[in-house]
Amino acid sequence: MRLLFLNRAFPVLSQTFVLDHIAYAVTRGHDTSVAALKLIKDVEHPVIDQLQLYNTMLYARPVDPLSLRRVASGLIAHRERFAGAFRSRALGRAKATELSIALQSDPQPDVIIANFGPTGVSAARLKENFFPKAKVVVIFHGYDVSGYVAKHGWDVYRKMAPNVDLAICVTERWCELIKRETKMANVVVHHLGVRCRDMPSWRSAQHQDFSILFVGRMTEKKGFRHLIAAAAILRARNLSLHVDAVGDGPNLASYKAEIARQGLTDAFTFHGARTHGFVLDLMSKADCLVAPSITAEGGDQEGIPVVLMEAMAIGTPVVSTRHSGIPELIEAETSGLLVDEKDDRGLADGIERLARNPAVRSNLSAAARGRVRESFDAETQNRKLFEMIEGL
């Protein structure tokens, strides 16, 4: 099959599942193209290098000599595509970026795969206006079914529904919402996965301070502010700890200021955005990973954070929240600890419990590894995903 992976921005390092799906499609023998409405330059990742994506990608922005040459070639080679779009008024309905991708896509795709609902809107317009025989697959994750809907409403998804052939939701909650609100015909739950066989093993090192790892964008829904509050509570309980924080984002400066105000500067190290390999190495050495996700003020929520899957696959004990699809991954008290959203004292209690009970850490580690290998292994999950896509 000819597959076109459509992305709003690409590549984005935090979206490792997108690169994983592309690599799997190639190994499965599909004629695979990658398109971005906006190209992000100079991102390093093994899949990008292996598939030479920067040499073959289609992109609408930035407009440069290469993209202009591809568009001009498309206009010459596929005059009927442009003329048909003109006759059907598609040029008025499609955005310039979508027209650019349509003209660069040669040959036409059999299936367009879009991660995130707003990108699915563009994929549906590509089908409606340029590629009527293509099938459209949209994968819904988190913000696109929470914060985006709170801001834009459901109508945008209802309008694209007739052109969506398969809607995939990464949590059961999103699946029920999409079914109820959009009336899309083919909506299924499919969990993402991580490559368990490529993961390092957890090394429960003897740290002078209890070692906590946080990985994520510094945005409200990631809940980092509540980890700061929990650290202050634990400092008052005389628990010696250290937090390694990986990630950047709009709230980083305010979090650093709060840490300074609490007198906790010595307890936090900020690494910024780092490579996947760096993160996995830190993860394998940490005493625990904390993911205190919350529902943001604007309604933004997680799906199931991949970082939790990765930590559990390694065997790193995890503390997280009863938020969105996280309880579909973590079996409370068995493969990890769960607390209520924004419960700073409960978060502190969970961390302290791990810090003072090595046996609890060991038991959670073993159960977590088994849980991810059984139900969230990327090889199995990718096979199931592409069997659904091929079934179209």
For the stretch 170-195, pLDDT in tens is 999 999 999 999 999 999 999 999 99
Amino acid present at 361: R
pLDDT, average across residues 326-353? 98
pTM: 0.91
| Per-residue model confidence (pLDDT) at position 148 | 97
| Per-residue model confidence (pLDDT) at position 79 | 74
User: What is the percentage of the chain residues whose pLDDT exceeds 90?
Assistant: 87
User: What is the percentage of the chain residues whose pLDDT exceeds 70?
Assistant: 96
| Beta strands 210-215; 135-140: pairing state | unpaired
| Per-residue model confidence (pLDDT) at position 76 | 86
Return the residue matching tokens 């996280």: 326
For the stretch 121-134, pLDDT in tens is 999 999 998 899 99
Band (75; pLDDT cuts 50, 70, 90): confident
pLDDT, average across residues 305-309? 96
CA 1 vs. chain centroid, Å, equals: 25
Residue 87 has pLDDT above 80, yes or no: no
Band (369; pLDDT cuts 50, 70, 90): very high
Amino acid present at 195: R
Closest CA to 390 of 192, 182, 92, 111: 111
Residue 88 has pLDDT above 60, yes or no: no
Q: Domain-by-domain residue ranges, the chain?
A: 2-193+377-390, 196-375
| Per-residue model confidence (pLDDT) at position 45 | 86
Return the residue matching tokens 């368990």: 196
Average pLDDT value over all residues in the chain: 94
| Per-residue model confidence (pLDDT) at position 90 | 55
Q: Do domains 2-193+377-390 and 196-375 have the same CATH topology?
A: yes
For residue 77, CA distances in Å to 80, 82, 109 come to 9, 10, 16
Integer-rounded Cα Rg, in Å, for the chain is 22
| Per-residue model confidence (pLDDT) at position 2 | 98
| Per-residue model confidence (pLDDT) at position 85 | 59
Q: Which class does domain 196-375 fall in?
A: alpha beta
Beta bridge mates, 249: none
Cα angle value 335/294/36 (rounded, 5°): 95
Q: Which class does domain 2-193+377-390 fall in?
A: alpha beta
pLDDT, average across residues 27-35? 97
